[in-house]
Amino acid sequence: MTKPNHVNLLVNYCSKIIDPIGLTSSSNRILSTKIIRQDSFKIAKSFLFVLFFLMMQTGSLVFAQELEIRGKVISADDRTELIGANVLEKGTTNGTATDVKGEFRLKVKPGAILVISYVGYLREEVQISNQTYLNISLKVDVTQLRDVLVVGIGYGEVKKSDATGSVTAISAKDFSKGTITSPQELLIGKAPGVIANTLGGAAGAGTKIRIRGGSSIQGNNDPLIVVDNIPLESAGISGMANPLTSLNPNDIESITILKDASATAIYGSRASNGVIIVKTKRAMLLEKDLVVAKLLINYSGNFSLATPAKMLSVFTGDEFRSLIADRVANYGLTNAASTRLGNANTDWQKEIYQTSPTTEHNLTFNHAIASVPYRLSLGYLYQGGILKYNTIDRKNLSFAMTPSLLNGDLTLDVSASASLISNNFSNNDAIWSAVEFDPTQPIKNGNTRFGGYTAWTEISANDKLNGTPNNIATHNPVARLQFRENTSEAQRYLLGAKLDYKIPFISNLKATLNLGYDYYNTDGRDRTNTLASWSYREPERQLVAYNQTKTNSLLDFYLNYKLDWGVNKFDLTGGYSYQHFYNEGMNSNTSWIFQSPKITPYKNEYFLISFFGRMNYTLLDRYLLTVTVREDGSSRFSEDNRWGLFPAVAFAWKLTEEPIIGKSDFLNELKLRVSWGKAGQQDVGGNYYPYIPTYTASTAGAYYQFGDTFYPTLRPDAYDANLKWETVTSINAGLDFTILNKRISGTFDIYKNTSDDLLNNIPIPVGSNFSNFLLTNVGSMENKGFEVGLNVTPILESDYSWELGVNLTYNENKITKLTLVDDPAYTGVNTGGISGGVGNNVQKFIVGMPARIFFLFNQVYGTNGKPIEGLYVDKSGKGGNVAGNELNKYYFESPDPDYLIGVSSKVNYKEFDLSFSGRISLGNYVYNNNASNRALYQQVYNQSGFLSNILTDVRKTDFMTAQYWSSFYLENASYFKLDYISLGYNFTSLFGNNTSGRIGLSVQNVFTITKYTGLDPEVDNGIDNNIYPRPRTFMLSISLNY
């Protein structure tokens, strides 16, 4: 790599694999607004297919070539190679780009003129006479800033160097090249202040993102996601593991994360948890002189295999038989248990997991027709989960074009994407069943009632093979997979059109109209076979069907005015936004016996209307001031509380622009930032009318009998007429620097976010409303911390380079208020429900402590180091039954990490590249619910006549009965995870033609170092139960550019 600054890396990455004629990387488009040739614009109505055929034709054109020219392009500034510079035979479409060594080869006609161009550099033209090797050095174009990384800030973009708020940008080159099925996964370990955890290992599983700890206690803590200027609905959709799964990560150009309120305030009411702006790729723009562009085709594909990384340790068949014998002989277990034992040795976990293949293919076309650049991308993904039958199959098509009209005064950015997704969720119940099912039983026992699969029958049934199934027994894990079909088909269409119009008569005034439409539809069914032994338990769930349609329509209109007045520069934006969210669907349950389905339909909508304005003021190019105001109206609140005002101010000082400091080889850039702002939250979950008194009718099955008639009932719903916005006030101070000839760049931020009027679902005085809990504005919380991000290039040689990225996040969370009336005796709100019994909680929300702090009895240990069953520290000193008194519980630790460190490294040596990324999480605590619930001797035999395997963890405690609140189960789950390691080989020609590409080998979830004794220390909210294990994935990938 040549330049450690962002734009060059981005350009290099993009263009080293393409061979454009006058086409530059997509980021170039932003820089050169006038590049687009003024040309007539005729768009065919069925443009997609027409264009496709035209493109294929153009692509097949062959040019007569006579002379092969080779050469190298370097920077005149620092003599480094320029990778991905464009080399073009003037007046033709014949051209290429330089490779990783800055070299190129091109066949041209004798006497041709070569045009060499590169972003941020002046173009160079060379007349070909008889040279065969050219050494070309390009001079820096002082009119263009070289290090412009443009970042989206909502309703506009700024140069990264001019950003005043806390903004992190990740571009395509930073993305790991693993099996990434969702854009959210691209964030894992990449950005300071951002925690992204995958929720288990299922194919297409979701990712939970928290920016600076999350601002809400019980409200939504998901950041707002904006895709191509369309803010998405935060709630998910039924039948799709993750709403972002529908986007193809391959189509993403960059992700920008807005963290402090000054940056997010422009999104007002939905921005309290930060904003993630996703920008998808656009066609690369034409160089000035070009009429016809060469068709560029990029193919990338991969094949990978996922294997279970770790399984829970349970007793084998033989071990289990001796365990039962021992319990009967020495611990008073009824002999009935021995009589139920079988003779087999079945490893149930092995039976339900598999090594699963994943394959992905992406084909991208970049082209222009009639000077209208477009990009078409086709994607196909088939991902297999390690749980048998779990698959996701996704087909993507995305199309974008960027025509220009009216002499360039009107530019359009039109995009359309479609995704078709088929999910097979398999049956996750099999995971627990596989842990618990008696290992001495065979998979099939010859019965005829349950399809042959061994099933526990009622003890009263004389027929052990075909008797009435035992409802409360564990069910055969293999049958669980075999006899349930849980699938869904989803479609998503995302349409966007952005029109920028330079208003005539007024210079520098631009109007933008942004239209967006997001449509989802899911159809799902969940069917249990009549042979399933477990379906008797919940007959209403035997045949489940659901469908859901969601739409999100957006209209933004805003004006932008730029004014340069001596040393003062103003950039003013003001506008209006209208968004409508609509959600409709139904759930239907049928049992085999009673064929009439119970259908529950639903339908709802809400509106958001906003006015916003932003002023960027720059004095002397070094003092930057941003003032933002947004006024948001939400249909979720009553007229009195409907509007919320979210102001923000940020100031930045570019010290290196001060004459007395100046730029030097050591200090390339230094910027200080301070900001203050407010953002809000209006997402009250599934409640669309929380302030309106409403009545809900009951659905079938919830009728009441009067005489001989069953009447549906009408229920008044609880409501809070005074519900209003949750507000987060944030202050932030930061520092951005680039030093040592741009070899080290970094950022440091310190912040404090205060959330007030938290939307909190709290117990209310009974009798005052139509429930015992109500969502209301009460409570305050504080998040404070700091973040450091560092990018270092320790080695930068012509064929050897090393880049290293480190980021560190520290966050401290504290609840400062929970009740309307300050009451020191308030014992907080229980949370953290666990598996085992019902209503058992191990965490609390309580004033003065971090959210979800663990609240447990303090375990007492024996001299052998083992915990003594049921013996805890008598905190209250009242004696007696310590476990019977809540006052004896202690506040322990929080499930959130204190420090989170992300590390990524990339080494290039000649044609090879080697990269890895990993994470260190420190101080995150996990309650091992798997052990607390399933490592107990009592569970080996149930009175109703079935045996259950237990975890071998039981040897650590020898507990007979459940001790859910023992601090023994709370573990420090700090970890280091090597998420990804990859080795690649890059080539510039394949079989003699100028197809370039890369072949790579990579491993995901390479290893985890932790003291945590459970399956995986990466656990959502700190309670480890029933998690689909994250697989380890081995992948072979290839990309080709023609």
Partner 1 sequence: MKKITFLTMVALISAFIFTSCVKDLNVEPIDPNVNTLNNVFKDQAAYKKALAKLYASYAISGQTGGGGGSPDIQGIDENFGNYLRQYWGLQELSTDEAIIAWDDATIKDFHWQTWAPNDVFLTALYSRIFYTITISNEFIRNVNEKIGSASGTFLADLKAFKAEARFLRALSYWHAIDMYGNTPFVTEVDKPGAFFPKRITRPELFSYIEKELKEIENELVAPKQNEYARADRGAAWFLLAKLYLNAKVYTGTERYTDALTYINKVISGGYTLDNSYLRLFSADNNLSPEIIFPIAFDGQNTQQYGGMTFLLHASNGGGMPLYGIDGGWGGIRTIKDFVAKFNVKESDFANTTQYTPSDKRGMFFFDKSSWQWEITNVGTFTHGIGVTKFRNVTSTGATAPNAHPTFVSADFPLFRLGDAYLMYAEAVLRGGSGGSIATAVNYINALRQRAYGNASGNIQQSDLTLNFILDERARELYWEGHRRTDLVRFGQFTNGTYVWEWKGKVKNGIQTSAFRDLYPIPINDLNANPNLVQNPGY
Subset of 637-696 contacting partner 1 (CB under 8 A): 639, 642, 688-689, 692-696
Residues 829-868 that bind partner 1 (CB under 8 A): 830, 836-840
**Cβ neighbours around 937 below 10 Å, total:** 18
**Pairing mode, strands 224-227 and 275-280:** parallel
**Minimum distance of partner 1 from residue 938's CB (angstroms):** 7
Tokens standing for residue 512: 């933008």
Pick 38 or 768: Cβ nearer partner 1: 768
Q: Which of 125, 538, 621, 640 binds partner 1 (CB under 8 A)?
A: 538
Chain centre distance of CA 410: 34
Pick 585 or 734: Cβ nearer partner 1: 585
Tokens standing for residue 880: 């007696």
Altogether, the residues listed in the chain come to a count of 1042
Pick 591 or 618: Cβ nearer partner 1: 591
Binding map of partner 1 across residues 193-232, x = CB under 8 A, - = no contact: ----------------------------------------
Pick 623 or 689: Cβ nearer partner 1: 689
Q: Are 30 and 150 in contact (CB under 8 A)?
A: yes
Stretches 700-708, 847-855, 914-922, 980-988: which one binds partner 1 (CB under 8 A)? 700-708
Pick 350 or 878: Cβ nearer partner 1: 878
Q: Which of 46, 129, 595, 705 binds partner 1 (CB under 8 A)?
A: 705
Q: Which of 522, 589, 675, 682 binds partner 1 (CB under 8 A)?
A: 589
DSSP string, 80-139: -B-TT-EEEETTSS-EEE--TTSEEEEEE-TT-EEEEE-TTB--EEEE-SS-SEEEEEEP
604 binds partner 1 (CB under 8 A): yes
Residues 6+ apart with CB under 8 A from 124: 115, 116, 117, 136, 138
**Burial class for 68, CB neighbours closer than 10 Å (0-12, 13-18, 19+):** exposed
Residues 508-537 that bind partner 1 (CB under 8 A): 511, 536-537
Stretches 15-23, 817-825, 921-929, 1007-1015: which one binds partner 1 (CB under 8 A)? 817-825
What backbone phi and psi angles, to 5 degrees, belong to 305?
-125, 130
822 binds partner 1 (CB under 8 A): no
**Minimum distance of partner 1 from residue 824's CB (angstroms):** 11
Binding map of partner 1 across residues 341-380, x = CB under 8 A, - = no contact: ----------------------------------------
Pick 531 or 625: Cβ nearer partner 1: 531
Q: Which of 125, 289, 564, 605 binds partner 1 (CB under 8 A)?
A: 605
Q: Which of 133, 594, 912, 1007 binds partner 1 (CB under 8 A)?
A: 594
Pick 520 or 937: Cβ nearer partner 1: 937
Stretches 245-253, 298-306, 826-834, 914-922: which one binds partner 1 (CB under 8 A)? 826-834
Taking the C-alpha atoms of residue 917 and residue 908, their distance in angstroms, rounded to an integer, is: 15
**Minimum distance of partner 1 from residue 144's CB (angstroms):** 32
DSSP string, 152-189: E-SSSEEEGGG--S-EEEEEGGGS--S---SGGGGGTT
507 binds partner 1 (CB under 8 A): no
**Minimum distance of partner 1 from residue 312's CB (angstroms):** 21
Return the HEC string of 36-54. CCCCCCCCCCCHHHHHHHH
57 binds partner 1 (CB under 8 A): no
Binding map of partner 1 across residues 949-988, x = CB under 8 A, - = no contact: ------------xx-x------------------------
713 binds partner 1 (CB under 8 A): yes
Stretches 244-252, 600-608, 612-620, 807-815: which one binds partner 1 (CB under 8 A)? 600-608
Residues 32-51 that bind partner 1 (CB under 8 A): none
Give the three-state DSSP class for 683: coil
**Residue closest to 29 by CA, chosen among 283, 204, 265, 271:** 283
Taking the C-alpha atoms of residue 197 and residue 182, their distance in angstroms, rounded to an integer, is: 12
Binding map of partner 1 across residues 291-330, x = CB under 8 A, - = no contact: ----------------------------------------
Q: Which of 91, 601, 848, 862 binds partner 1 (CB under 8 A)?
A: 601
Taking the C-alpha atoms of residue 453 and residue 446, their distance in angstroms, rounded to an integer, is: 7
**Minimum distance of partner 1 from residue 850's CB (angstroms):** 21
Q: Are 786 and 748 in contact (CB under 8 A)?
A: yes
Q: Which of 62, 64, 660, 766 binds partner 1 (CB under 8 A)?
A: 766
Tokens standing for residue 582: 């609509």
**Residue closest to 140 by CA, chosen among 196, 185, 75:** 75
Q: Are 151 and 171 in contact (CB under 8 A)?
A: no
Residues 6+ apart with CB under 8 A from 179: 302, 304, 306, 358, 360, 383, 1004, 1033, 1035
Residues 909-938 that bind partner 1 (CB under 8 A): 938
Q: Which residue has the tokens 């504290």?
A: 814
**Residue closest to 354 by CA, chosen among 391, 383, 386:** 386
Pick 423 or 963: Cβ nearer partner 1: 963
Q: Are 401 and 365 in contact (CB under 8 A)?
A: no
Give the H/E segment covering residue 824: none
Taking the C-alpha atoms of residue 498 and residue 577, their distance in angstroms, rounded to an integer, is: 13
Stretches 73-81, 163-171, 202-210, 816-824: which one binds partner 1 (CB under 8 A)? 816-824
**Residue closest to 288 by CA, chosen among 527, 125, 497:** 125
**Minimum distance of partner 1 from residue 433's CB (angstroms):** 17
Residues 453-472 that bind partner 1 (CB under 8 A): 458-460, 468-472
Tokens standing for residue 585: 């669907």
Taking the C-alpha atoms of residue 332 and residue 973, their distance in angstroms, rounded to an integer, is: 37
Pick 298 or 942: Cβ nearer partner 1: 942
Residues 772-791 that bind partner 1 (CB under 8 A): 772-773, 776
Q: Which of 49, 53, 505, 666 binds partner 1 (CB under 8 A)?
A: 505
Residues 718-747 that bind partner 1 (CB under 8 A): 718-722
823 binds partner 1 (CB under 8 A): yes
Q: Are 258 and 264 in contact (CB under 8 A)?
A: yes
Pick 104 or 937: Cβ nearer partner 1: 937
Q: Are 679 and 265 in contact (CB under 8 A)?
A: yes
Stretches 114-122, 239-247, 482-490, 703-711: which one binds partner 1 (CB under 8 A)? 703-711
Stretches 280-288, 365-373, 768-776, 951-959: which one binds partner 1 (CB under 8 A)? 768-776
Tokens standing for residue 969: 């189960």
**901 forms bridges with which residues in the sheet?**
808, 920
Size of the site for partner 1 (CB under 8 A): 112
**Minimum distance of partner 1 from residue 630's CB (angstroms):** 15
Sign of torsion, CA 871 874 878 884?
negative
Stretches 255-263, 715-723, 789-797, 903-911: which one binds partner 1 (CB under 8 A)? 715-723
**Minimum distance of partner 1 from residue 718's CB (angstroms):** 8
Pick 313 or 694: Cβ nearer partner 1: 694
593 binds partner 1 (CB under 8 A): yes
Give the three-state DSSP class for 73: strand
Taking the C-alpha atoms of residue 888 and residue 877, their distance in angstroms, rounded to an integer, is: 8
**Minimum distance of partner 1 from residue 603's CB (angstroms):** 5
